[in-house]
Amino acid sequence: MLNVRLLIPLLVLAAMSAPAAAQDLVPHRAVYAVSALDRGKSDTGTSGTYAYELRLTCDGYVVNQRLRLEVAGARAAVASEQQSQMIESRDGKKLRFEHRTTTGGRQTSLVKGEALIGDDDKGEARFTDPEGQSVALPGTTLFPVAIARETIRQAQAGEQGFDALFFFGEKVKPPQSVNVLIGKLPKRLSDVKIPEGGEQLADGRTRIYYRAGFFDTEANGKGQGEPAYEMSSVTLDNGVELYGTHEEGDGGIEYRITHLEALPKPECK
């Protein structure tokens, strides 16, 4: 992918404060049509699909993501696919992750492991593939679901943006520094429609628009230079994403929702 990071729409504050922890996300399954971007404009050279699933458990969240792209070649299109599975605890302190990439049907990368933030506010990610690798995590690091919840909380509080440290686990690297800007929904995106059958998940919900830049960090946690990538999103205040972009340099992708369905909530004591 252009190495696209699949983010829950997607974003250090005392980010796991009580208000953030109270923000829950609705379990759902969504599918998106994907098209390429060239310098911010639509390009016909790449197309694909993006599937996203969020399930709730009594202890946390299970996220499955799959992005499949068809890239035009000299003789035939080449298919590339990225799959991710993540299990994140409800308190945002623990993450199990597995990220797999294939090109032309052959696996080209596999990264998996577990990240944990301890009670002493010191954390670590340990990788089982590549085996024996680890990185330190500051106590303010946010995992994918936690950063999505924090973005919604900030938007509902009327804030215009925030900074955070974010760890996804797709590379053996320290957390990235993220700058999130929350703004007014652009007119060009006001017509993003809810797919038939998914209306119950959207009725009465507020649409949130934000842009985020992700910066690679040094050991001191400070971002360096230009962002490694940027993204934008239109997301409902229950965590359902309707539209998004992912841009790296002059290239990127955009995706629009085509299918949406609710998933059952767990019965917990």
Residue by residue, DSSP assigns 39-51 as TTEEEEEEEEEEE
Per-residue pLDDT, 22:
42
Per-residue pLDDT, 265:
92
> CA–CA separation, 1 vs 43, rounded Å?
15
Per-residue pLDDT, 169:
95
Indicate the range of 38-47, 74-83, 107-116, 131-140 predicted with least confidence.
38-47
- Check whether 71 has a pLDDT greater than 80: no
> CA–CA separation, 244 vs 9, rounded Å?
8
Of the candidates 48, 142, 41, the one whose C-alpha atom is nearest the C-alpha of residue 89 is 142
More confident residue, 3 or 230: 230
Whole-angstrom CA distances from 122 to 137, 170, 215 are 7, 20, 21
More confident residue, 7 or 193: 193
- Check whether 174 has a pLDDT greater than 90: yes
Q: What is the pTM of this model?
A: 0.86
**Is the sign of the CA dihedral 236, 54, 35, 248 positive or negative?**
positive
Per-residue pLDDT, 105:
85
What percent of the chain has pLDDT above 70?
85
Compute the mean pLDDT over every residue in the chain, rounded to the nearest whole number: 87
The residue-averaged pLDDT of 20-47 equals: 78
Q: How many residues does the chain have?
A: 269
Whole-angstrom CA distances from 201 to 24, 194, 197 are 14, 9, 9
In degrees rounded to 5, what are phi and psi of residue 18? -60, -45
More confident residue, 109 or 76: 109
- Check whether 166 has a pLDDT greater than 90: yes
pLDDT band (50, 70, 90) for residue 121: confident
pLDDT band (50, 70, 90) for residue 207: very high
Q: Is the peptide bond before 130 cis (omega within 30 degrees of 0)?
A: yes
Per-residue pLDDT, 19:
38
> What's at 232, amino acid-wise?
S
- Check whether 164 has a pLDDT greater than 80: yes
- Check whether 264 has a pLDDT greater than 60: yes
- Check whether 43 has a pLDDT greater than 70: no
The residue-averaged pLDDT of 148-176 equals: 95
Per-residue pLDDT, 1:
36
More confident residue, 46 or 162: 162
- Check whether 10 has a pLDDT greater than 50: no
> CA–CA separation, 53 vs 40, rounded Å?
27
Per-residue pLDDT, 13:
30
Of the candidates 76, 150, 101, the one whose C-alpha atom is nearest the C-alpha of residue 2 is 101
> CA–CA separation, 25 vs 53, rounded Å?
12
The residue-averaged pLDDT of 90-118 equals: 95
pLDDT digits (tens, 9 = 90+) for 227-250: 999 999 999 999 999 999 999 888
SS3 145: helix
